[in-house]
Amino acid sequence: MSSPDGTEPPGRPNGEPAEQEAATRREGAAADQVAADSTEPRIEDLVHEDSGPAPRFGGLAEEHAEHEAAVETVAAPAAPAETGAKLELGAVGHLGDRLFSGLARGSGGVVVLIVAFVGIFLLALAIPALADDESNFLFSRIWLPGGDHPQFGIAALFYTTLVSSIIAMAVAVPIAVGVALYITYYAPRRLARPVASVVDLLAAVPSIIYGLWGIVFFAPVIQPVSHAISKVLGWIPVFKEAANADRGTVFTAGVVLAIMILPVITAISREIFAQTPIAHREGALALGSTKWEMIRMAVLPYGRSGVTSAAMLGLGRALGETVAVMIILSQPNPIAPWDPSIFAGGETFASKIASSAAELDTPAKTGAFIAAGLVLFVVTFIVNSTARIIVARSEPGARRRTRRSRAVKQGAAA
């Protein structure tokens, strides 16, 4: 072959043409491959070899597995080295907290036990007397617990107790709320504190003083009021003038009871009204309300539950008041017909038990009076329970919770 310029290519170093040189290279490569094959061990030789470790196959898979293990080792957080002993936390709470918690729980338990023991005591001693009673205990007005044929009922006692307490509540609650509002929002600061102190001092007057003052001084003063009411409302049996009118009437006892429970209701109502949020009061005034409108829209709704609690507390005292009522009320003739008028005399549960304490000489009589005390205990318990229910329903958000629970019940029923 000639070069592009027409001259012959130069000769090879060994003087051989190009085709021979290519053949020589192929022969050399084949010889090198044969030599390599003779030096590498064969698989059959490795399998049948008795000594040495077993051959490993799948090298790429093993390398991949080793790589994944290394990556996981790097990614996993290293465990913190312990620098010292482990920190052990002690029990939460101090000795004083545990003691106070135990005393508080114990006090609550003691009160519950006292109430339970009183109820059990009254019930245990009243059952034998009630079993021997030959009259209707709930609807009879006869009170002859002695003798071989005891007859006693609580209808008259229950009526007088209930009516005198209602009169006391009707008189005391409006006056107490008015006094509390005056002290809290109307009275000047220099006058509010002395008036509040005087009202609170009324609670410190003993019951016997109220009784003596009521029958000696107050009964003659209020007797014209009784006659005026009888003239206007005498056609109603409750307000008719009694045949043997006396100063010691149920009406007089009820008004004196109102004066006795007035400090309790006033003090609690005053504290509740003073706690009305200032945002509610200032917001009502900012909208243009007068002071009375602010009280009607902000103060009274906020203090409704507190006033209810105060009224129920005063009612409890009115139901159980003993000495003052015993001194004021004139005892009716046992054989005379019963008079339902509030301008007649009568006896309450507490005054009957106190005035007849000298007659507790036999188990039968004692059981009769204890049965009357059991009724008073149950009535007081019902009054307090009712008050708690009213207060719970009067609290802010109570109606919203009631509607929510009612909706949940309706949804569950559907």
pTM of the predicted protein model = 0.70
pLDDT tens digits along 199-252: 888 888 999 999 999 999 999 999 888 888 988 888 888 888 877 667 788 999
> Model confidence over 38-62: pLDDT tens digits?
555 554 454 444 444 444 444 545 5
74 has pLDDT over 60: no
Quote the mean pLDDT of the chain.
Answer: 79
* Residue 358, amino acid: A
User: Which strand (E) or helix (H) includes residue 107?
Assistant: helix 95-132
In angstroms, rounded to a whole number, what is the distance separating the alpha carbons of residues 326 and 344? 14
Residue 121 predicted with pLDDT over 80: yes
CA distance 65 to 11: 58
- Across the strands, what pairs with 144? 151
Yes or no: say if 295 and 179 are a contact pair by the CB < 8 Å rule: no
- Mean pLDDT across 365-394: 85
- Quote the pLDDT of residue 38: 52
Q: What average pLDDT does range 363-370 have in this prediction?
A: 87
Asked whether the predicted pLDDT for residue 406 surpasses 50, the reply is yes
Tell me the mean pLDDT in the region 319-328. 90
Which pLDDT band, with edges at 50, 70 and 90, does 327 fall under? very high
The pLDDT tens digits for 268-318 are 999 899 888 899 888 988 988 888 999 999 999 888 888 988 898 899 889
Provide, rounded to the nearest whole percent, the portion of the chain with pLDDT above 90.
Answer: 25
Residue 291: count of CB within 10 angstroms of its CB: 14
User: How many CB atoms sit inside 10 A of residue 18's CB?
Assistant: 10
pLDDT computed for residue 96 by the predictor? 81
**Contact between residue 333 and residue 346 where contact means Cβ atoms under 8 Å apart:** no
* Residue 360 pLDDT class (50, 70, 90 cuts): confident
Task: Write the pLDDT tens digit of every residue in 247-272.
Answer: 788 999 999 999 999 999 999 999 89
pLDDT score of 374 more than 60: yes
